[in-house]
Amino acid sequence: MSDDSGVAVLDPPVSEQAAPPPPRRKRKRHKHNLAGYGFLAPWLIGLFAFTLIPMVYSLYLSLTRFNLLTAPQWIGFENYTRLFSDERYLQSIKVTLLYVVTSVPLKLAAALLVAVALNRGLRALGFYRATFYLPSLLGASVAVSVMWRQIFSRDGLVNQFLGLFGVQGADWIGDPRYAMWTLVLLSGWQFGTPMLIFLAGLKQLPQDLYEAAAIDGAGRFTVFFKITLPLLSPMVFFNLVLETINAFQTFTPAYVISNGLGGPIDSTLLYTLYLYLKGFGSMQMGYASAMAWVLFAVIGLFTAIYFWSARKWVNYAD
Amino acid sequence: MSISRRGLFGLAGGLAAASVAGCGFAPTSNGGAANNSLTFRWWGGEARNKAYQNALQIFTQKNGTKVDAQYSGYDGYFNKLNTEFAGGNPPDLFQMDTALVSTYAAKGVLTDLSQYIPNTIHLDTLYPAVRGAGAVGGKTYGVPSGSGYAPVLYDKTLFEQAKIPVPADTWTWDDFGRIAGEMSKALGQGKYGALDASKDDSGALQPWLRQRGKDLYNDEGKLAFTKDDLAEWFAMWDKLRKAGAICPPEMLANTDSAAGNHPLIAGNIAMTNGWGLAQMQPLTQHTLDIVLVPRGSNGKTGQALNGGVLLCIPVKSKNPEAAAKLIDLFVSDVDAIKAMALSRGIPPSAKALEALAPSLSAADKRDVTYAQYVADEVAKDGLPNAPTAPPGYNDAKTALDAAAKQVAFGKMSIPDAVAQYFRDAEAALQGAK
């Protein structure tokens, strides 16, 4: 895939970048940079004030006991060691991992499926594209989660529909066996963003390969798995990384659907929800900060694994 | 035109100096105006917001102090408050959840109001049972603005349809189980006599414990009941659950707020603990009514009266004297009491109820007379007042909810759930000290 593919961020690093300029030119460059930073200033100030400084502060807080009302007390790594004897914490990890490994593939599969379907020269493509993207616009909003809660509640839409066939549906939100899957389904339904990226990728695939495949008499599935998917792998990779990070950080749907408690019996206690409950509910902000840093490390680890494995399955055109 | 690096730094330095100066001036100017103004923060529904604002107008007329009213819903109220406390800029007076007052008092951020009693705040106008609602360790950190208790709320219309007599004020826990079972049978499949209240600490477990001479917490902020008590409690509900008298645990998902999908409003159950008429009646066409929590075999109600909500003054309040006067307005000013009527809950004093009596509607009267009846019954119990909920209360409450639901869903045996509750609750109470 070329540099202007829209996923330039993920292009192979270092080796392909221009070699560093010779030292003699450095001073001059520096001056140019100053103007650049000047223009960057509004964003830079935001980055420092609202991201980096709070992050560093939360790293400090994670090493303290901090109840929000009185000054933080230094306790070293106690918060981190306590984490792993906290059963609710371990439960939240279990729930979150389950959520990530089910919702991300579901969402990407749905996105790819719809993208492929939309790519076959439909009339009114723009309309369909917008329609399928709509759920993602409403995305993490409270309204959608409230609606989801209604749809899957005991007397909700789903059970009324099942009732037409004489089936008494379960209490999807209230039953710990199913509550989690309503969240996964909600995530899968919001496939709009990866779908748009897939669609953009599909439009760029070289047609000659398809023509050659048609001449060779390849079937639809062969074409998809031997041509489309390998060529699209940078898009799959990009979406996988982004959606995994998003899934780890999911908060709103679990908060709304479980009334902010992660129930029934902690079956929807996503990581960030537990973090919120600890920080603002129990006023253990130091502990919550430690949780945030562990999550940061875990997301970093997952991303690193993706990048490492990418060498084996992502095909860049060049 | 170009700015040299030195020039740039000079400019930045000037800006910094200006902002520092700004910081230096700001509190002084606020301090100057402080005697004449006051910020007051509360959470509430529309009715309470209106009632409070009417009372604040009266306050301004009488004292000449302007009140900056800041109000919102309960969601996020304490998050915002905590942030302001952390920033050293809390409101001058604010509304406090009775269950959280000791948590805040333990952090040393609340003013001990004893210095304003009895000269500014006429606490002795209130019912004796609620005077201590904001007391922590012998000091008064909050004054109640309403009174509350946790009755059983039932759907009178469903009882009439089923031709089953409604619960009487003298009913016991045995009657509760029997009536719930009969209602379940009469209502048919998918509907149940009562809500599973095994998870409800203040609305069900506390009166049950007090009937046996115990309580949720003692004055030292420790659990005041034993593992055997809790095991018996869980077993009682388990029996009702297996008999189909109370709802299955899946139905507990929508029981935390007064909304149309609460099983009582949805018509799926006939009785629930922990809710009053004021919140629920407006949501349904059915007629609802309240009755005391079932009595113990010794006839005691075990009800604990609480202060509804409290009013507290932060240590960093810029105008504590005016804040104390405003507290007293809620407690003893007849004009303000009339302006607020029942929309802030039932006022916790005989003086207030006398002042209101002539202007109450029929439904309001039912509320008030029943509250009076409950207060009398509580006095007959002759039990000590319930201690203020200790620091860490919130987490201990969550632990009961978790353990009860583990039993209800059949994920844990009763002894395991009891052990888990005691471990988690004791850790929460200990850790919050």
ipTM: 0.75
Pair B143, B121: CB distance under 8 Å? yes
Smallest Cβ distance to B253: which of A69, A70, A174? A174
Residue whose pair of structure tokens reads 């009417």 in the numeric block: B54
Is B83 in Cβ contact with A67 (below 8 Å)? no
To the nearest whole number, what is the mean pLDDT of chain B? 82
B contact test, residue of A154, A259, A285 with most B CBs within 10 A: A154
Same domain, B299 and B313: no
Task: Give CA B307 to chain center in angstroms.
Answer: 8
Same domain, B171 and B250: yes
CA distance A270 to A145: 15
Same domain, B285 and B415: yes
pLDDT at A20: 52
Distance from CA of B405 to the nearest CA of A (A): 6
Architecture of domain A82-313: Orthogonal Bundle (1.10)
Q: Which residues of A touch chain B, with CB atoms under 8 Å apart?
A: 67-70, 150, 153-155, 168, 170-171, 173-176, 179, 258-259, 261, 263-266, 280-283
Smallest Cβ distance to B86: which of A68, A154, A282? A68
Q: What is the domain extent for residue B130?
A: 36-146+307-378
> Could you report how far apart the first and last alpha carbons of chain B are, in Å?
62
pLDDT at A240: 92
A contact test, residue of B97, B110, B192, B250 with most A CBs within 10 A: B250
Same domain, B288 and B423: yes
Same domain, B266 and B405: yes
Other beta carbons within 10 angstroms of residue A288's beta carbon come to 24
pLDDT at B347: 78
Contact partners, residue A113, CB within 8 Å, separation at least 6: none
Total structural domains within chain B: 2
CA distance B369 to B354: 12
Among residues B378, B388, B410, which one has the least CA distance to residue B215? Answer: B388
Same domain, B214 and B282: yes
Is B82 in Cβ contact with A283 (below 8 Å)? yes
Read off the pLDDT of residues B51-103 as tens digits, 9 standing for 90 and up. Answer: 889 889 999 988 888 999 998 877 678 878 887 887 788 999 999 988 888 88
B3 domain-assigned = no
List of E strands, B66-202: 66-72, 93-97, 134-136, 139-144, 152-155, 192-194
φ, ψ of residue B172 in degrees (nearest 5)? -115, 180
pLDDT at A304: 94
Same domain, B159 and B74: no
B422 domain-assigned = yes
* Token pair of B60 as six digits: 């301004």
pLDDT at B31: 39
Cis peptide preceding B118, ω within 30 of 0: yes
Pair A77, B90: CB distance under 8 Å? no
The burial of B291, by beta-carbon neighbours within 10 Å (0-12 exposed, 13-18 middle, 19 or more buried), is given as middle
Same domain, B133 and B47: yes
CATH number of the domain encompassing residue B137: 3.40.190.10
B contact test, residue of A61, A66, A69 with most B CBs within 10 A: A69
Contact partners, residue B232, CB within 8 Å, separation at least 6: none
Is B256 in Cβ contact with A154 (below 8 Å)? no
pLDDT per residue, tens digit, chain A (318 aa), is 334 444 444 444 444 444 555 555 555 566 678 888 888 889 999 998 888 999 999 999 999 988 888 888 899 888 999 898 888 899 999 999 999 999 999 999 999 998 888 887 777 777 877 887 777 777 567 777 888 888 888 778 888 888 888 877 778 888 888 889 988 988 888 888 888 889 888 888 888 888 888 888 888 888 888 888 888 888 899 999 999 999 999 888 888 888 777 878 888 999 999 998 888 878 888 999 999 999 999 999 999 999 999 888 887 765
* Token pair of A235 as six digits: 């898009």
Same domain, B399 and B321: no
pLDDT at A318: 56
pLDDT at B1: 34
Residue B93: beta bridge partners? Answer: B40
CA A46-A47-A48 angle, to 5 degrees, is 95
pLDDT at A12: 43
Smallest Cβ distance to A263: which of B82, B251, B253? B253
Distance from CA of A95 to the nearest CA of B (A): 16
CA distance B257 to B251: 13
Where chain B has pLDDT below 70, the residues are 1-35, 75, 257-258, 307, 363, 433
Residue A169, CA distances (Å) to A155, A172, B193, B263 in order: 9, 8, 21, 17
Same domain, B81 and B117: yes
Q: Which amino acid is at A303?
A: T
B360 domain-assigned = yes
Same domain, B297 and B423: yes
Other beta carbons within 10 angstroms of residue A220's beta carbon come to 9
CA distance B181 to B71: 44
Same domain, B250 and B219: yes
pTM of full prediction above 0.80: no
Residue B238: beta bridge partners? Answer: none
Where are the domains positioned within chain A?
82-313
Q: CA quadruple B384, B386, B392, B398: dihedral positive or negative?
A: positive
Is B109 in Cβ contact with A153 (below 8 Å)? no
pLDDT at A93: 94
Classify residue A54 by its DSSP letter: H
* Token pair of A112 as six digits: 């790819």
B22 domain-assigned = no
Residue B346: beta bridge partners? Answer: B147
pLDDT at B258: 67
Strands B93-97 and B269-273: unpaired
Set of chain A residues whose Cβ sits within 8 Å of the Cβ of B3: none
Question: SS3 for B115?
Answer: helix
Pair B279, B271: CB distance under 8 Å? no
Read off the pLDDT of residues B311-334 as tens digits, 9 standing for 90 and up. Answer: 999 999 988 988 999 999 888 888
B342 domain-assigned = yes
Pair B302, B296: CB distance under 8 Å? yes
pLDDT at A30: 66
